[in-house]
Amino acid sequence: MYRCLSNEVLASLGEYRGVAEALFSAGGFSPGPDLKAVADFAKALGIGAEYQRLFAFRKDPEKVRIFLGHFQNNLDLLIQKTWVEKADESRKEKLQDEIPPLIALIEQGDFLQAIEKFGKVLDELAYLFFGTQSAKEDFTEYTFRIDPQIGLFWWYGAQLGGLKGTGKNDAVNDESLSALLLIGLCYLTDF
């Protein structure tokens, strides 16, 4: 799981390593993780209280809609404020166009598809934030060196790809998927 990280970065992970391993197995997402593992991961990211608050009202459509509006507004601001070369301006516009379909998937309760789309959004957002560094093999280590919580977030984003083969009949249920997705939504809403 951490094979791409140097020993120096591994040593700095401390508390993060345990919560990450509880959520993600060596092969990706742990099937049906208990919700405590997800909450502990959110706490390690520094969004524990916000995550718990949102998790508590995730079945209230009106509150979810309001939260998703805040998520979209903050993500739009992050995208707009990101400095890129003129040639990459269209990437910003394309990324903003991806947010409404992501929100629609969440509102429809299609969390598996939403996580897949969210992973793609994170890939593009990483490019806007970090440029070509985001495509390098040592990107996770690079972000851990900037800040361990930022590194943990981008590492989380990379782990979402392990869900692609997960189907409705697998051990990962909608509650686990929505909880996992909520971590990323909370983090970017509070970024």
Tens digit of each residue's pLDDT (9 = 90 or more) over 20-68? 777 776 555 555 567 888 999 999 999 999 999 999 998 899 999 999 9
User: Do the domain assignments include residue 24?
Assistant: yes
Residue 170 has pLDDT above 60, yes or no: no
Give the predicted TM-score (pTM) of the model. Answer: 0.84
User: Do the domain assignments include residue 178?
Assistant: yes
Q: Is residue 159 a contact partner of residue 24, using CB atoms and an 8 Å limit?
A: yes
Higher pLDDT, 108 or 23: 108
Give the list of residues 6+ apart from residue 158 with CB closer than 8 angstroms, or none.
140
State the pLDDT at residue 62.
Answer: 94
- Segment 68-84 shows an average pLDDT of 92
State the pLDDT at residue 9.
Answer: 54
* Best mean pLDDT range from 12-21, 123-132, 153-162, 173-182: 123-132
Q: Which of the residue ranges 151-155, 168-172, 181-185 would you say has the lowest mean pLDDT?
A: 168-172
User: Do the domain assignments include residue 77?
Assistant: yes
User: Do the domain assignments include residue 2?
Assistant: no
How much is the mean pLDDT over the chain?
84
User: Do the domain assignments include residue 28?
Assistant: yes
State the pLDDT at residue 171.
Answer: 46
User: Do the domain assignments include residue 1?
Assistant: no
User: Do the domain assignments include residue 151?
Assistant: yes
Count: domains in the chain: 1
- Segment 130-158 shows an average pLDDT of 90
162 DSSP β-pair partners? none
Whole-angstrom distance, CA of residue 9 vs CA of residue 7: 5
Whole-angstrom distance, CA of residue 144 vs CA of residue 111: 28
- What SS3 class is residue 28? strand
User: Do the domain assignments include residue 136?
Assistant: yes
Domain that holds residue 65: 7-190
